[in-house]
Amino acid sequence: MARPFALDPLFRALTALPGIGPRNVKLLEKLVGGPKILDLLWHKPIDLVDRRFTPKIAEAPDGRVSTLSVQIHKHFPNERKGQPYKIWCTDETGTINLVFFHAHRAYLEKLFPIGETRIVSGRVEHYQGKLQMTHPDAVGTLEERAQIEILEPIYPLTQGVSGKILHKAALTALKTLPALEEWIDPHYKTRNRWPDWKEAVETLHSPPDETTLDPLHPARARLAYDELLAGQLTLALVRNRQKRQSGRSFPVKGALRNRLLAALPFALTGAQERALAEIDADMAANSRMLRLLQGDVGSGKTVVAALSMLSAVENGAQAALMAPTEILARQHAESLKPWLEAAGIRFAVLTGRDKGKSRETLLHQIGNGAIQIAIGTHALFQEDVAFADLGLAVIDEQHRFGVHQRLELSSKGKGTDVLVMTATPIPRTLTLTAYGDMDVSRLDEKPPGRKPVDTRLIPAEKLDAMIEGLKRQIETGARIYWVCPLVEESDILDLAAAEERYDHLKQIFGDRVGLVHGRMKPADKDEVMEKFAGGALDILVATTVIEVGVNVPQATIMVIENAQRFGLSQLHQLRGRVGRGAEQSYCFLVYSGLLNETAKERLSVMRQTEDGFLIAEKDLELRGAGDILGVKQSGALNFRLAELPAHNELLAAARDDARLIIEKDPELKTPRGEAVRTLLYLFERDQAIQYLRSG
């Protein structure tokens, strides 16, 4: 089945609408987030102007938006540049001047013919004892009255696209709205008093009253639910498909595990024990494991992964651990080495750097099973890498991957179990959205004995004094990360700021300062990072590219400039780079300018806690969903209609509903299933529909 014909009008190009042509379509596409009419319909008004107030001239109050019906009497063109052009109008109660600056005479004469009646809407001002309306927002003939006297939606705009054009285009688009079969459960819909889809879209752009701006208004809530449901259905379909492919059973036998445990210089935390028990149960079961292991940097995910990999090996299969970067892969190998050796495991590292003969040898050993555990980058999952029998794939810190990539990664083996590790603590509600297809284990307890990072707020004016302090710290062997301002939407500006700071610090500290940024070649970046890790550099200046997870235990100081611009979760991630050794660590949050209340509250949260989950919840509360670190790019949280946290409850309901729908009607063949397919097409989840077919 292809996309239902009923949806065609919604998928036409924006240029099919009046007022939208080749000149402004690009701007509009960018503004509304897509090239089709549906994108425009999903562009939500942010405010309303009430043009339904229609007083007589004499009753029009100062400063209020009024819609007047006036007779045109006389034009007073401006005599000199800079003077306003005035048009004298009346009704039976009084007179008012329409005022225009930079006026085009011919245009105004045509728009306001003398002797005729016109409807004008705008803010009325009492000026030097007279009434005037400067640049009416809307003008029309008596016949057009009904289109003017409305609650007019105000849209987020961009230079080059006017609200008028947008509104007119939206109204035209509404005329071709199809009525769609209902996909929402009828009881749930009635209980919420939700309108049909069509009516909900109409309400958005042709609002009957002020309450429609509220995210919890039935029309907005319904549309949000549609979007959330489409997302959750996609995840449920992915999950269903994964689970249907029969898994393997890897019961824990214990011999290898005990050897590794005996080699550990510490006991597992309660959280590690719990997570491991959950993983053990999944791996022992016949279905496929799809589990997310969430835990702050330093919460001890690696050892949990290692113990899980042993379960696969113990049952005669192989395991793979994939990290997002070369450095991280090597660091993993480094820290796993003593443990795996103690357990007598044959393991190897494979990254993009392995070429030629050595690579061939590695591939051969992976292929014949001589290597039991492979650690590497995405190079592990390239086409020419064939495992003898991959039982478990562990994927570290991969918030940058989407659902589909997860599918690809696990397709290297038959029924391969998948464990995803992330150091981005995500609030529970968002976990649903981003990882709704996975089961979740949380490491919410840190290994004992960590010193809290001493976190301080430093106003930018005190930077020099702080640098004096750093000099003393460096003399005693401290190593410093220095993160430069994040300027939204411009990595060029980011870079300029970082380079400037780098030059500045070099003047003070000499050669022992390094710079890394996102525009460097990976190999160059790695080289600088390695120098810092090895102690050849004392200060590492960086844009935000400090790779998640890079471990330099000797680094004890984190300086973050313009800290007020970062999200809490980002600050938390950055701070997590220090406090990994035995020494006392510091985090200096340097801020510039005056902070507003929210900014103050956010930065003080950082001083109060190091609990990533708590910080993530706060971040969500204070900033909304889209900004939580990293997940934005993955697309998982780019909502058009839903707003978190306002729609948190809907999200949970959508998840339950999606799972239920797929459970009862896995092929979406019932009438409701058909409607659900339409929903998926509406939100361009075509890929999810493919899973139905090929599964």
- Contacting positions for ligand ADP (CB under 6 A): 266, 268-269, 272, 295, 297-303, 423, 447
Which burial class, exposed, middle or buried, applies to 93 when counting CB atoms under 10 A from its CB (0-12, 13-18, 19+)?
exposed
User: By C-beta, is 269 or 311 nearer to ligand ADP?
Assistant: 269
C-alpha to C-alpha distances, 355 to 49, 361, 388, 637, nearest whole angstrom:
65, 10, 21, 38
Q: What angle (nearest 5°) sits at the alpha carbon of residue 347, between those of residues 341 and 353?
A: 130
Task: Extract the tokens encoding 36.
Answer: 């089709």
With tokens 């003939």, the residue in question is: 141
User: By C-beta, is 299 or 315 nearer to ligand ADP?
Assistant: 299
Binding site partner of 224, from Mg ion, ligand ADP, none, Cβ cut-off 5-8 A by kind: none
- Which amino acid does the sequence have at 455? T
* Residue number of the CB atom closest to Mg ion: 549
Q: Minimum distance from CB of 452 to ligand ADP (Å)?
A: 15
Q: Minimum distance from CB of 220 to Mg ion (Å)?
A: 40
The DSSP result for 19-83, as a single string, is T--TTTHHHHHHHHTSSBHHHHHTS---EEEE------GGGPPTTSEEEEEEEEEEEE--SSTTS
Binding site partner of 376, from Mg ion, ligand ADP, none, Cβ cut-off 5-8 A by kind: none
User: By C-beta, is 170 or 271 nearer to ligand ADP?
Assistant: 271
Q: Which residues contact 328 (CB under 8 A, 6 or more apart)?
A: 396, 397, 547, 549, 550
With tokens 């801020």, the residue in question is: 591
Q: Minimum distance from CB of 65 to ligand ADP (Å)?
A: 57
Q: Which residues contact 463 (CB under 8 A, 6 or more apart)?
A: 590
Task: Extract the tokens encoding 47.
Answer: 């405010």
DSSP letter for 46, please: -
Q: Minimum distance from CB of 307 to ligand ADP (Å)?
A: 11
With tokens 């019906």, the residue in question is: 69
Distance, in Å, from the CA atom of 29 to the CA atom of 418, rounded to the nearest integer, reads: 38
User: By C-beta, is 247 or 300 nearer to ligand ADP?
Assistant: 300
Among 479, 518, 478, 469, which Cα is nearest to 495's? 518
Q: Minimum distance from CB of 620 to ligand ADP (Å)?
A: 22
Site for Mg ion in 548-577 (CB under 5 A): 549
Q: Minimum distance from CB of 370 to ligand ADP (Å)?
A: 27
User: By C-beta, is 517 or 580 nearer to Mg ion?
Assistant: 580
How far is the first Cα of the chain from the last one, in angstroms, to the nearest whole number? 15
**Count residues contacting Mg ion (CB under 5 A)?**
1
Q: Minimum distance from CB of 660 to ligand ADP (Å)?
A: 35
Q: Minimum distance from CB of 469 to ligand ADP (Å)?
A: 28
Q: Measure CA 138 to chain center.
A: 38
User: By C-beta, is 311 or 424 nearer to Mg ion?
Assistant: 424
User: By C-beta, is 45 or 549 nearer to Mg ion?
Assistant: 549
Site for Mg ion in 530-549 (CB under 5 A): 549
User: By C-beta, is 153 or 549 nearer to Mg ion?
Assistant: 549
Binding site partner of 268, from ligand ADP, Mg ion, none, Cβ cut-off 5-8 A by kind: ligand ADP
| Bond before 84 cis per omega within 30 degrees | no
Q: Minimum distance from CB of 302 to Mg ion (Å)?
A: 5
For residues 250 and 315, the answer to whether their CB atoms sit within 8 Å is yes
Q: How many CB atoms lie within 10 A of CB 483?
A: 26
Spell out the alpha helix ranges (H) of 218-269. 218-244, 255-263
Distance, in Å, from the CA atom of 664 to the CA atom of 659, rounded to the nearest integer, reads: 9
Q: Minimum distance from CB of 548 to Mg ion (Å)?
A: 9
Distance, in Å, from the CA atom of 83 to the CA atom of 471, rounded to the nearest integer, reads: 63
For residues 422 and 556, the answer to whether their CB atoms sit within 8 Å is no
User: By C-beta, is 258 or 598 nearer to ligand ADP?
Assistant: 258
User: By C-beta, is 301 or 406 nearer to ligand ADP?
Assistant: 301
Task: Extract the tokens encoding 377.
Answer: 């980058």
The helix/strand count (H/E) of the chain reads as: 25, 21
Q: Minimum distance from CB of 629 to Mg ion (Å)?
A: 16
Distance, in Å, from the CA atom of 61 to the CA atom of 131, rounded to the nearest integer, reads: 10
Q: Minimum distance from CB of 381 to ligand ADP (Å)?
A: 21
User: By C-beta, is 186 or 449 nearer to ligand ADP?
Assistant: 449
User: By C-beta, is 122 or 549 nearer to Mg ion?
Assistant: 549
Site for Mg ion, rule CB under 5 A:
549
